[in-house]
């Protein structure tokens, strides 16, 4: 009798532990972007508009966040409202973006990309990646300098509006790519597909007030504000 009770107790405990582990794993594997779901809202601001000066000026941050990103959120909600996509995360939507209205592609990408961008830049940014992310960059690019050169090249050569990305493919390998407009590597229309962990907005609205036509200067300044702790956290979340 005692052993039956013991078995019952052990079974109950182990199923409780399993449930706990599953919940933890699920949350760990989902980045904040993967949780983006209708109705969409502007993310919480973690720093003031002037906090990234002199790398990004206050007025650009204010207009970029409230007007540009704000418009993507408003237009995305309007495009999704009443459709089956109300139930899907943006990640799931991007898997089939080629079959959906162009307003979902442009504004869904706009919301996802900017939500990532605000998180991977910060007043405490700069320096170099550490730990596992640094090891992976050395393994996949040869060195941090080589990665930086490839990323800068992707950002500089993107004609017109778009984004440069550091992303991770299904095998766990890092790669650099760029996409036009508000596309991103999660979309089924992307040349190279994967999950972005760092993105740089090279639309003129992201830099024109301060840098005018000097996109390369804006790209150089970007390295002063990249939050490598956050990028590293995203990397670990995806590969662990």
Take residue 239 and report the two structure tokens written for it.
């590969």
Based on CB atoms, which residue is closest to Mn ion, 201 or 230?
Answer: 201
Tokens of 235: 């990397």
Q: Which residue's CB comes closest to Mn ion?
A: 201
Q: Assess contact for 138 and 147: CB atoms under 8 A.
A: no
# residues contacting Mn ion (CB under 5 A): 3
Q: Which of these ranges, 164-172, 186-194, 201-209, 210-218, lies near Mn ion under the rule CB under 5 A?
A: 201-209
Q: Of the ranges 88-96, 97-105, 127-135, 199-207, which one interacts with Mn ion (CB under 5 A)?
A: 199-207
Give least dist CB 157 to Mn ion, A.
18
> Could you give the C-alpha distances from 8 to 17, 18, 20, 38, in angstroms and in order?
14, 15, 18, 42
With respect to Mn ion, which residue has the nearer C-beta, 203 or 218?
Answer: 203
We find the least distance from the C-beta atom of residue 52 to Mn ion, in angstroms, to be: 14
Q: What share of the chain is helix, strand, coil (3-state, %, to 5)?
A: 60, 10, 30
CB of 55 within 8 A of CB of 224?
yes
* Nearer CB in complex with Mn ion: 185/232: 185
Comparison of 70 and 101: residue with beta carbon closer to Mn ion? 70
Binding positions for Mn ion, 108-147, rule CB under 5 A: none
Q: Kindly indicate which of the ranges 49-57, 94-102, 173-181, 200-208 contains the residues binding Mn ion, using the contact rule CB under 5 A.
A: 200-208
Comparing C-alpha atoms, which of 128, 162, 160, 131 is closest to residue 147? Answer: 128
Which of 33, 152, 183, 201: binder of Mn ion (CB under 5 A)? 201
Region binding Mn ion by CB under 5 A among candidate stretches 23-31, 46-54, 151-159, 197-205: 197-205
CA distance 80 to 20: 33
Q: Does 183 bind Mn ion (CB under 5 A)?
A: no
* Integer Cα distance of 20 and 11 in angstroms: 14
CA distance 57 to 220: 15
Nearer to Mn ion, 125 or 232 (CB): 125
DSSP reduced 3-state for 197: strand
Residues in contact with Mn ion by the rule CB under 5 A: 201, 203, 206
């Amino acid at each position: 009798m005692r052993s039956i009770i013991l078995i019952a107790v052990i079974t109950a405990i182990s199923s409780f532990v399993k449930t706990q582990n599953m919940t933890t794993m699920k949350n760990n594997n989902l980045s904040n972007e993967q949780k983006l779901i209708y109705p969409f809202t502007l993310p919480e601001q973690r720093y003031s508009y002037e906090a990234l000066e002199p790398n990004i000026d206050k007025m650009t941050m204010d207009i970029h966040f409230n007007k540009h990103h704000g418009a993507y959120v408003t237009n995305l909600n309007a495009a999704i409202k009443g459709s089956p996509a109300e139930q899907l995360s943006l990640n799931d939507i991007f898997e089939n973006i080629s079959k959906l209205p162009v307003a979902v592609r442009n504004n869904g990408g706009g919301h996802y990309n900017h939500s990532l961008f605000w998180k991977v830049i910060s007043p405490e940014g700069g320096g170099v990646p550490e730990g596992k992310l640094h090891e992976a960059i050395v393994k996949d690019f040869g060195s941090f300098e080589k990665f930086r050169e490839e990323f800068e090249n992707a950002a500089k050569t993107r004609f017109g509006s778009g984004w440069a990305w550091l992303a991770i493919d299904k095998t766990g390998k890092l790669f650099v790519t760029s996409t036009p407009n508000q596309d991103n590597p999660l979309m089924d229309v992307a040349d190279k597909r994967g999950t972005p962990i760092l993105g740089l907005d090279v639309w003129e609205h992201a830099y024109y007030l301060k840098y005018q036509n000097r996109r390369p200067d804006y790209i150089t300044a970007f390295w002063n504000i990249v939050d490598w702790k956050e990028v590293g956290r995203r990397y670990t979340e995806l590969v662990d």
